[in-house]
Amino acid sequence: MTYLQVHKSRVSLPARVVVGITIVVLLLGGATQFFRPSFFPAVMTTLVRPFWRAQLALQLGSMRTPEGLLAENQYLQRELDDAKVRLDTIKSVETENLELKSLMGRASTTPYILAAVLKHPPSAAYDELIIDAGNDAGFSVGNNVYAVGDVPIGRISQVLGQTSTVHLFSSPRETYSVLIGPSHSSATAVGRGGGQYSAELPRDIKVSQGDFVTIPSLNAKPFGVVTSVLADPAQTFQTILFAPPVNLFELRWVLVDLRMRLI
């Protein structure tokens, strides 16, 4: 009997240990799940994440080296830049087409001839434009040249076979009679170069930035827009600075008036 009792005790001890460990593990697991329900999902996610990433990479075909991924990124960036350039080009062509249609319509109802600007400063001489028509279009020295909106910008100073030179009105020391502001005050405008003009008026005449400057003619063509008014209380005159309402150095098209010059 003594042998049998000892034998039973030795056989059942490991079983009791296993059962005890199992109970402890279950109790710990239950307590962990109760107090921190996100613990086990987080552990499982951490364990299986590498396998998920590998599977996704295989599905997307991106099991490549970092160098390969960098090269692909650079290629896609170049494609994006090329697409942006093409879009900008399309917008530029559309704008040019609208502008050209407007000028063509204007030229068809007036004695104006449409010409393209080949060069402007600094590619051409200071305050000069080179246009792509000359004797072949019937141009003569002294013909007035206009920008979009019938803005007078200069006159033909030299005519060759298929090109002409336009001398801009804003050239230094050139003078013109103009009307300034809503009161159409008479003044003498002096070219300052680079598409800029100045004029003087009595200080008590109200002139503001943005007022129009016109030339005294039947059509009152726009000549410029006031950019600044310089007034000194100690002086009886104020200085008016103005410029054409177009950028002379970005012009692509001009209209040449074949009639006698108006300025």
pLDDT in tens, 70-114: 777 777 777 777 777 666 555 555 555 555 555 555 455 567 888
**Of residues 236, 179, 173, the one with CA closest to residue 212:** 179
**Of residues 251, 12, 29, 4, the one with CA closest to residue 146:** 251
Question: Residue 175, CB half-sphere, CA atoms under 13 Å: how many?
Answer: 4
pTM: 0.58
C-alpha torsion sign, points 253, 256, 262, 263: positive
The stretch 244-256 carries a mean pLDDT of 88
pLDDT in tens, 154-209: 999 999 999 999 999 999 989 999 999 998 999 999 999 888 999 999 999 999 99
Helices 39-60 and 2-35, packing angle to 10 deg: 70
Instruction: Find all residues with CB under 8 Å of 117, minimum gap 6, and list them.
Output: 129, 130, 131, 132, 251, 252, 253, 254
pLDDT in tens, 9-34: 454 666 666 666 777 666 666 655 55
d(CA 196, CA 241): 7
Q: Which two tokens stand for residue 67?
A: 């160098």
**Domain 171-243 is in which class?**
mainly beta
How distant, in Å, are the alpha carbons of 34, 93, 224 from that of 100? 78, 10, 22
Terminal-residue alpha carbon distance, the chain: 139
For the chain, the domains span: 15-60, 171-243
- Are 152 and 263 spatial neighbours (Cβ–Cβ below 8 Å)? yes
For the cut 70, the answer to whether the pLDDT of residue 228 exceeds it is: yes
d(CA 107, CA 141): 19
Instruction: Find all residues with CB under 8 Å of 39, minimum gap 6, and list them.
Output: 32, 33
